[in-house]
Structure 1
Amino acid sequence: MPTFLEFEKPIAELESKIEELRHLSDAGDINIAEEVGRLQAKADRLLRQTYGRLTPWQKTLVARHPERPHFSDYVQALMEDFTPLAGDRAFADDHAIVGGLGRFRDHSIVLIGHEKGQDTASRVAHNFGMARPEGYRKAQRLMELADRFRLPVITLVDTPGAYPGVDAEARGQAQAIARCIETCLRIRVPLVSAIIGEGGSGGAIALAAGNRVLMLEHAVYSVISPEGCASILWRSADQAKEAAEALKLTADDLLRLGVIDDVVPEPLGGAHRARAQTINALGDALEAALRELKEGDPATLRSRRREKFLEMGEGRLS
């Protein structure tokens, strides 16, 4: 059974009852198929109702679900012959950002993304997906490599934000992010980005300034986390729900505002309930975008990407 979120408690209770009844049925000759079917139908109906009216804060919780597919899951399912490349050639290798060369459905590409980790040890090792300057410099190096060899770039974004520690600031965090965004806008190869979980602040846009920006249905993408916004505006993180409403961080909001280009539907109950289905759906969307962009010439790809983001800066979005 999946890990249930706070707002899913009624669903959790029903599914727990279903599991108990199935266990009783397996243990003896009791036939309770009819009761199990009735409860399952009720649970499915409640799940559909709950996910049909998620609030922005609830979507934030779904986007942060620990069992959502992470970068490594997409690599394992979608990539062939993936060869990770390490280091920024200046300071160190940042494990919060992983990237390398490989084949994606017959396309030779460079794949870059945030990795949060799967358990406590790996989350610590990957710093919960919060990159330091060397992570963004590694991403910049890989994008420049892709540009040199005319390889399309796919980026998968899933980070609460760039690491805010003193050591990161001392090594030029802001400049590293800015240079990474600049590189996204400068390269002459197709760049497709996908927000697969959290898209937090400059730490996200450093990898998301693409020709096409896709977003999973229950992912979130914003200039700041709801808790951070609430702490600034209301001096209390307790107002995070209100902040989530104001930030317009859901996929539907961002599609309407023109910040992203397409929303990839998730299975009922979120990506964590059907990981393989989610990964394949995103793979199809990435492939479609890549095929379309590969027809463009390098100068046009770069100019259209720049124009897209410059239009946002000119206040044409409202």
Structure 2
Amino acid sequence: AALARPAGPAVGAPPVTAGDTPAVRDAWDTVRMARHPGRPTTLDYLDSVFDGFVELHGDRLGADCPAIVGGVARLAGRHVMVIGHQKGHTTAELVARNFGMASPAGHRKALRLMRLAARLGLPVVTLVDTPGADPGVSAEEQGQAAAIAENILTLTVLPTPVLAVITGEGGSGGALALAVADRVLMLENAVYSVISPEGCAAILWPDRSAAPQAARALRLTAPDLCRLGVVDEVVSEPSNAAQDDPAESAHRLRAALLANLLPLLDVPPAMLVRLRRQRFRRFGANRASARAVLR
């Protein structure tokens, strides 16, 4: 069905905050909230935000990583390619999905779906919720770093709109493999960081018990990242958190996706790619401003 394009944020517009003003929350409390087992997962959002999802499996090289789910869905009558990390709610689900930590096969599956979307002219929506890529020896032997790098390279030149949403944990290269996008949104109680607070504490402090202090220093919360320009928009969560009212959380995410995706559909592919590359090249350009924010 045809859908009129509502007025939305212009491509390259300054960061804005959608919905209610985010509550002030300690960074470590936000980390714990982002890891809550009841938090909606990618499959939950595929069921509540999108319509008619058809999952596509495999990397076409012999494996189907359960930590990555993706396929074609409809969003307000428009076909889109949705790719996301999948954790789970129970211990059994978390183990089966490797806690959302993708193997090289998972990143290759995502890469296959991105390229398929480009061939079909479909926008790409990614849902990021991972503590990081699979750190196991077998993953390294199978080319984990190269798989992540190829995803990042492909996303920088993909000739179709790309919209990324950090829904829970956005950890390290595993998150960045799905988060190079024209617009990056972030749920209010999500986190996005180059390293986990525990990992940072183990490196810079005497032990991992300094994780709360590391979380505050990393500036990994949505309001901090929005101020720094890493994230374009913060999507407010209902009540205390998304898990308290999944239906309302899905409603808010759907509205944010439409408001940000529809304006991108009118941008020529060459311009999309140019603006996307410029977006990431701006990071760190104004070092004085970044230092002021960090202070």
Tell me whether the two structures share a fold, i.e. TM-score over 0.5: yes
Q: Could you tell me which residue of structure 1 aligns to residue 4 of structure 2?
A: none
- Corresponding residue to 2:209 among 232, 238, 242: 238
**TM score, norm. by length of structure 1:** 0.82
Deviations 1:104-151 (A, max 9, x none): 111101000000012122211111100011111111110000001110
Deviations 1:155-214 (A, max 9, x none): 000000101000000001111111111111111100000000000011001101100000
CA distance in 2, matches of 1:59, 1:268: 14
Deviations 1:5-57 (A, max 9, x none): xxxxxxxxxxxxxxxxxxxxxxxxxxxxxxxxxxxxxxxxxxxxxx9442100
Q: Could you tell me which residue of structure 1 aligns to residue 12 of structure 2?
A: none
Structure 2 counterpart of 1:93, one-letter code: D
Q: Does 1:216 align with 2:187?
A: yes
CA distance in 2, matches of 1:248, 1:60: 11
- Corresponding residue to 2:25 among 54, 68, 75: 54
CA distance in 2, matches of 1:314, 1:139: 30
RMSD: 1.3
CA distance in 2, matches of 1:313, 1:255: 14
SS in 1 for 2:239: coil
- Corresponding residue to 1:89 among 60, 71, 95: 60
**TM score, norm. by length of structure 2:** 0.88
**Runs of 4+ off more than 3 Å:** 313-317
Deviation at 1:268, TM superposition (A): 2.1
CA distance in 1, matches of 2:112, 2:147: 11
Deviation at 1:96, TM superposition (A): 0.3
* Aligned length, in residue pairs: 268
CA distance in 2, matches of 1:310, 1:200: 20
- Corresponding residue to 2:258 among 259, 271, 287: 287
CA distance in 1, matches of 2:91, 2:117: 33
SS in 1 for 2:160: coil
**Higher-helix-fraction structure:** 1
Gaps of 5+ in 2: 1-21, 291-295
Q: Could you tell me which residue of structure 1 aligns to residue 143 of structure 2?
A: 172
Structure 1 counterpart of 2:180, one-letter code: A
The 3 A distance-change label for structure 1 pair 90 and 65 is same
SS in 1 for 2:282: helix
CA distance in 1, matches of 2:71, 2:125: 10
Structure 2 counterpart of 1:290, one-letter code: L
Gaps of 5+ in 1: 1-50
SS in 2 for 1:161: coil
State the identity as a percent: 52
Q: Greater RCO between the two (CA within 8 Å, min separation 6)?
A: 2
Q: Does 1:151 align with 2:122?
A: yes
Deviation at 1:313, TM superposition (A): 5.6
